[in-house]
Structure 1
Amino acid sequence: MIGIGLAGAIALLISILFTPYLIRVFSRQGFGQEIREEGPQGHKSKRGTPTMGGVAIMVAMWAGYLGAYGVIMLMGLRDRPSASGWLVMMLTTGLGLVGFLDDFIKIRKQRNLGLNKTAKLVGQLVVGITFAVLALRFADNYNQTPATYNLSFIRDISFISFGTIGFVVFCYGIIAAWSNAVNFTDGLDGLAGGSAAMVFGTYVVICFWQFRNDCTSFASAGCYDVRDPLDLAVVAAAAMGGCIGFLWWNAAPAKIFMGDTGSLALGGLVAGLSMMTRTELLMIVIGGIFAVEMLSVILQIAVFRATGKRIFRMAPFHHHFELAGWAETTVIIRFWLLGGVCAMFGLGLFYSEWLTAGGG
């Protein structure tokens, strides 16, 4: 519990203090956001706002994670970070680097398109496959690996197993889907950061609950067969603190944008947490706001190609309401509220399943 609190507090402090430094540096370097011409006209005024602020979130996450472990190791409470924690942090950082390249190309070429689709796909593929392969290794003393071959809801669904090749493909699909979903959501000031903070806060609770009811320590009805849940709670707390601290400067009117650096990294963390905690399908509920944003893009493209008509004024979904006349802050706050409802509903499902499984 001490590690969770320390990770969140350190990440929050680093993010709040480091972000304004990035704003000054990026402003001097001319690292400003390009705005797509077909977007809402009100966004044209945001052109030139510093981007790549996701760097601050990642630095804060690493500082929170390593700082918390440094303290608790000195106190003799734990030995070292786990394989699960390292892998999720690696996945987050790897996708953040892909996003950083994308943002940097946009800035250098003065356009709203960075890496082409193939290059971004290759980047996500390399990071995703590396994570998938490593997640099936590093068995602990109980022969548990960080991930399993099974699809999961709140626990593994034993009769749906992918096998090694199938798991690697599935893992890449999950990572690509969530990283793109968070990327689509990052279109309004603070929308993705605030929504992500709620998801990570929910996973702090879920991971800590799994730790308190771990099958390796409490072999009873309703226990969870999840490796390193406490370490994953520390990662989630660091991510939550980093997002909240960044949100201080990213809230409307934003002084800096997270860019693809931040959105791809946070999407990777969402995917990694869902697989490591055996809650891949539950994440669709908890991160419902991201899922809906991505679904809106898919539906818009599919319907337009089939009929030549658009079902939304613009996709992703949040732009539809902007073009309908809603103020940007109104859209953001209402989407935050919906994101909070999704997170709480997902947490309720998690707890009710525990009661049904005989844990209560």
Structure 2
Amino acid sequence: MIFLFFLVLLIGLQTSVRAQTIGVCYGQVADNLPPKDQVIKLFQTKNFGRMRIFNPDQATLEALRGSNIELVIGVANEDIKSIANDISSANAWVQNNILKFSQDVKFKYIAVGNEIDPANNDQAQFVPLAMKNIDAALASANLKSQIKVSTVIYMGLLGSSYPPSAGAFNEASTSYMTQVVSFLVESGAPVLANVYPYFSYIGNMKDISLDYALFKQPGNNDAGYQNLFDAQLDAIYAALAKVGGSNLNIVVSESGWPSAGGDGASIENAGTFYTNLIAHVNGGKGTPAKPGQDIETYLFAMFDEYQKPGAETEKHFGLFHADQSPKYPI
């Protein structure tokens, strides 16, 4: 009986740890969203133990006090240059947005920039130094051991991605990623990567099946993959290895599927994707290149953001409606 008790307890603890693999991005590009304290309560009610926000919104940080939700917080792209060029700017950013809340908010990662492409964004040259300065500012505040500094990359930086083992960064990104990876290897921080099977699917519907993108393909393809998410993730792992990051871990900082607004975007497909992604990540099987490795993943996003620019699909990634009712039975 004692053995059975501890076996059940162990299984329960493992299930709890697996459940904590899932976080949700809290975007706020809409003026019809619930008050921030209600959003925090919704996270807690739905057992979302991790959150990503894209800028250091003070009201959100205040609402997070005492919530025990682990947080990924972003340094806005437009602030990177000043932080890179002036350590006092990095110190001020950490003082105002981290240290001020650190007793009551569980900061996990600081993301210095989101999807910066060195091919068309001059901010890229400042990202490595900005990461170093934020890291140094954390050390000065005695927070370096608690919070890791990284940046968010995306699939567009890859020049090749199939088969996944041939993954490599494109020529314009190689020097940039080499510098980023060098910092991450030294600091022990993971790479943050936005991984969207949806965009790859609509970009090549001729060769990529919907079932492959939605985790519904019954068997492996010729490269040994059963789903596109794993293939994308392993392509990034292969690319990282080619620039000195073979031992780095990847945190999936965004992944989602739109419910309207374009090809393949529907309530049915989005619900299927989110349900299967959660099951896959919480299953603990890892990917073919990284078997058994946990995949910390942040779903995009908590709510629809109808004021977002760009394609119509960008407005329809929410798990919940603005009235907090769920879109899908997840």
The interval holding the TM-score normalised by the smaller chain is: under 0.3
**Higher-strand-fraction structure:** 2
Higher relative contact order (CA 8 A, sep 6+): 1
TM-score by length of 2: 0.24
Greater per-residue helix proportion: 1
